[in-house]
Amino acid sequence: MSSVEEKITPRTQRPLPVDFMAHLAARGALRDAQATDAARTPRHGEAMSAPIDWSALTRLTASALADELAGFYGCRRVKRDDLTQSRFAGGDMSMRFLREGRLFPYEDAGGACNLAVAAPIDDETLRSIEIALRKPIALAAATADDIDAALSLRSEADQNNALPQASAGAGEDDLDNLRDLARGAPVVRALDDLLRLAVEQRATDLHIEPNGDGLQVRLRIDGMLKNVPPPPMSMAKGILSRLKILAGLNIIERRLAQDGRAHIAVGGSEIDLRVATMPTMHGECAVIRLLRKGSGLVALNQIGLGPRDEAILRKALLAPYGMIIVTGPTGSGKTTTLAASLAVINEPTRKILTIEDPVEYQIPGINQTQVHPAIGLTFASALRSFMRLDPDVIMVGEMRDSETAHIGVHAALTGHLVLTTLHTNTAAGAITRMIDMGIESFLLASSARVIVGQRLVRILCDHCKEPHRLTEAEVGADERYAALGIAPGEVVCRPKGCEWCGFTGFRGRKGVFEIMEIGPALRRAIGPKTDASELEAAARREGMSTMTEDGIVKLRAGQTTLDEIFRLTSSL
């Protein structure tokens, strides 16, 4: 036995992470009986149980999970201040290793060495750390966020020490200097941390923006932007250069907007990035769209459709030909609705072809193509080629121009089911938009079967939402209540905020819909000078409910809030 090992007190073997899972199951904290099947069973000799997503397996908040971990090990439960105000005891240990394992070694007030953990750790890993640090270690339990915060503070000094040297070369436009800056450890770590944070918080977009006061970083979560702690402004040029290298962009071009793509792996998830940069007065800004590869398809009965609307859409999907149009602004969930619709009819007896920009959902059994304008592969050119491939169903990601619209209508009239999207405010507006694109009204009346108008509203967190009975004073003070048919005494739910939802009060989004079925009455109403309001009135007479009415149904069901409905109605 080495002298280092002799200093470490032998200990009985600690339980494995799978034992902690059994502990949680016994306490009824797992989400379902099959939760253990979703987790990777750890074995002796593996470093740690980081691949197991404990938050996804349990019903517990991060704080409650840390409490359970402390009880399981019989160790201290420490908070963020305990860690950030303590002395780091990790020596020369790899920060990447500590970040990936969510580990923070520190000295307590008595000088003893402790290891804060956010998940179970096996005995062999702990013993290896003790040997590396040349001292025995006591375990402590903390949340992953608190450990991340402590590690970030520890990294900040390293970053600040490395920045002056890196920044000295960054002032020049020399390509080699920019490349060296972009590959510097602090810059790489800063961008990696931002991307990891974006993935962990379910963000769809990451905004990196310089301004007069420094660097601003924001995440778009559930459709709303949220500020997060930024890296130092002195790292901005390096971060942008690093991002450009990943996306295959010109790192010395700062005068023009650029866009590109990249692929990364974060926490076991495959992520496609769409990167766009733009010069501003204070430097370049960047927006990164995060697309999770292999994201699970949402079933058609889970996207938020009411019973009547779902029945109408399913009926149209089973038709042998015709056109189904999903309409709404960017980010309203149109692609999710199309993917859920395709899943309904995805059978070996049908040949389904899609042209998309980009391919967000990969669906087995469907031939999916991504546009590539640089080589001439556009929506229109792909659609023309599809007609020679004997398809039963064609999905066109977007009707962007007159040529694509004409080919799509022709396909719908010649025995193909065509699904596509448009950017209009309402379902009725899709008809007038297609006519404006040069489609003859009689062709549109013959080809269109269903038009789906949709928006997304944020869904209240089930763990913390609070019921509230509206008073006469509240309803009387805002005329929008009366306009929506909301009366005093009605009970609605309000957001509160907890660890489960990141203290926003909301977790996830769901669609609100209006589905216009093109029956005989509406076919007669479609003409070259048709007005969208007239079409909507005709559809209402046929039983269509509007997006506002669907939103109020979800409000009264306790799924969303009045503010979300007011935000919805202001966009219609």
> pLDDT tens digits for 66-103?
999 999 999 999 998 889 888 888 877 777 778 878 89
pLDDT at position 378, please?
A: 94
Q: Which of 282, 277, 280 is nearest to 257 (CA)?
A: 277
How is the chain split into domains, by residue range? Answer: 3-149, 171-292, 300-458+507-556
What percentage of residues in the chain have a pLDDT greater than 90? Answer: 52
- Please indicate, yes or no, whether the overall pTM of this predicted structure exceeds 0.75: no
Query: What pairing do the DSSP bridges indicate for beta strands 283-292 and 103-107?
Result: unpaired
Report the distance separating Cα 279 and Cα 285, nearest Å.
6
More confident residue, 337 or 298: 337
Report the distance separating Cα 143 and Cα 119, nearest Å.
9
CATH architecture, range 171-292? 2-Layer Sandwich (3.30)
Q: What's the gap between Cα 221 and its chain centre? A: 7
pLDDT at position 381, please?
A: 94
Average pLDDT of the segment spanning 488-502: 90
Confirm if 23 and 57 have CB atoms less than 8 A apart.
no
CB within 8 A of 421, min separation 6: which ones? Answer: 325, 326, 327, 328, 334, 335, 338, 396, 397, 398, 399
Confirm if 360 and 295 have CB atoms less than 8 A apart.
yes
Confirm if 46 and 126 have CB atoms less than 8 A apart.
no
Report the distance separating Cα 266 and Cα 195, nearest Å.
8
Does the domain at 300-458+507-556 match CATH 3.40.50.300? Answer given as yes
| Range list of β-strands (E), 397-481 | 417-422, 448-460, 466-469
Q: Which of 403, 454, 410 is nearest to 429 (CA)?
A: 454
DSSP single-letter state for residue 401 = S
β-partners of residue 274 are 261, 289
Confirm if 118 and 143 have CB atoms less than 8 A apart.
yes
Average pLDDT of the segment spanning 508-533: 93
Q: Which of 219, 226, 180 is nearest to 196 (CA)?
A: 219
* Each residue's pLDDT tens digit, 10-68: 444 455 556 788 888 888 878 765 444 444 444 333 333 345 667 667 778 888 899 99
| Range list of β-strands (E), 177-268 | 205-211, 214-221, 224-228, 258-266
* Each residue's pLDDT tens digit, 261-272: 888 887 667 888
More confident residue, 315 or 31: 315
Average pLDDT of the segment spanning 333-362: 93
Question: pLDDT class for 170, splitting at 50, 70, 90?
Answer: very low
Helix axes 236-247, 185-200, angle to 10 degrees: 70
Query: What pairing do the DSSP bridges indicate for beta strands 103-107 and 113-117?
Result: antiparallel
Give yes or no for residue 388 having a pLDDT over 60.
yes
Confirm if 210 and 226 have CB atoms less than 8 A apart.
no
CB within 8 A of 30, min separation 6: which ones? Answer: 21, 24, 36, 57, 58, 59
DSSP single-letter state for residue 97 = H
* Each residue's pLDDT tens digit, 107-162: 988 888 999 999 888 777 788 788 778 888 899 999 988 898 888 777 655 555 44
> Strand order in 76-77's β-sheet?
76-77, 138-141, 113-117, 103-107, 87-88
Q: Number of C-alpha atoms within 13 angstroms, CB side, residue 456? A: 21
